[in-house]
Amino acid sequence: MVWPMTPPQHLTLGQLNAAPPGEFIAALAEVFEYAPWVAAAVAPSRPFATVTGLHQAMMAVLQAAPREQQLAFVRGHPELGSRVARARDLTADSRFEQGSLGLDRLSEQEFARFQSLNATYHEKFGFPFIICVRRHTRDSLLARFERRLANDIEVECHTALEEIALITRLRLVAKVDGPGKPTTEGRLSTHVLDQVCGRPAADMTVALYEIGASARGLILTATTNRDGRTDAPLIAGEPLRIGCYELQFGVGDYFALRRGSWPAVSFLNVVPIRFSLSEPEGHYHVPLLVTPFSYATYRGH
């Protein structure tokens, strides 16, 4: 995957603490979209001991701002999946985030669905729907969108600020290195154990799919190594997108290669394991304990 963006510049917390106020504000300008006043407000409070502390201070500024200023800030965000999303006036971060979900590649029908939700939402609340896109599959995003339409304005303002906390935390972590970075990454891993010979199952193919309400999408394929694991976690280094997934293990091919006395036609061929991820920063370990005629799985960590 190639994102249409320049890679983020990495700064250290030390550099930010030491920078002249103007440079500090400029460096963090895009963390809170179109709102350099947030960075400006925390500049005098430097030095920050941790990245988390810096983020909390910035969120505190936003939380303490007058409602009108909060709303102006929220209104500065692009509408989700709108034509705007394909236009020039997105910040690079917004483009990256929405692009990762395929929201800039909507079909006409899907685009219409989002347009309709956006319109209903905007009419009810007077600001665009804000959500930390990188923590969601399209299905979970749509589900949240519809559920949040039922909120009253007070709850929804609160929810929008919470989502902004999640969005800006991810942006800050991507931009600033240093001590005390908040956890923003989840992990999905697997492990295959051949219970016929009591050893890890090597050279078994594994495929990971996202299972959407209307379609499934292949995320990756891998092959188990001699430890029965994939060389890298299936997902790591980013939030897990809330949603439904399926692992498919090439059990039939694996045992066919090794069988002495196995029957010619396998009982198990492709073994699917379907599960939901609901904690974007969670660790999910989904092992497979398998013979040609049985298997077990469970949620590990």
- Which residue ranges make up the site for a second copy (CB under 8 A)? 193, 195-200, 227, 242, 244, 246, 252, 260-261, 263-272, 274-276, 278, 289, 291-301
Return the amino acid letter for 37: W
Query: For residues 178 and 292, which CB has a smaller minimum distance to a second copy in the complex?
Result: 292
Q: Cα 117–101–59 angle (5° rounding)?
A: 80
Residue 253 Cβ vs a second copy, minimum distance, rounded to whole Å: 13
Residue 215 Cβ vs a second copy, minimum distance, rounded to whole Å: 14
Query: For residues 27 and 211, which CB has a smaller minimum distance to a second copy in the complex?
Result: 211
Query: For residues 214 and 261, which CB has a smaller minimum distance to a second copy in the complex?
Result: 261
Residue 196 Cβ vs a second copy, minimum distance, rounded to whole Å: 5
Q: How many residues in the chain?
A: 301
| Catalytic member of 10, 55, 77, 122 | 77
Query: For residues 124 and 187, which CB has a smaller minimum distance to a second copy in the complex?
Result: 187
Which residues, including other chains, have CB under 8 Å from residue 187's CB and lie 6 or more apart?
A: 233, 235, 236, 240, 282, 283, 284
Active site residue 77: yes
Cβ(247)–Cβ(206) below 8 Å? yes
Q: Taking the CB of residue 256, how many other CB atoms lie within 10 A of it? A: 15
Cβ(248)–Cβ(286) below 8 Å? no
Residue 275 Cβ vs a second copy, minimum distance, rounded to whole Å: 5
How many Å apart are CA 3 and CA 78, to the nearest integer? 19
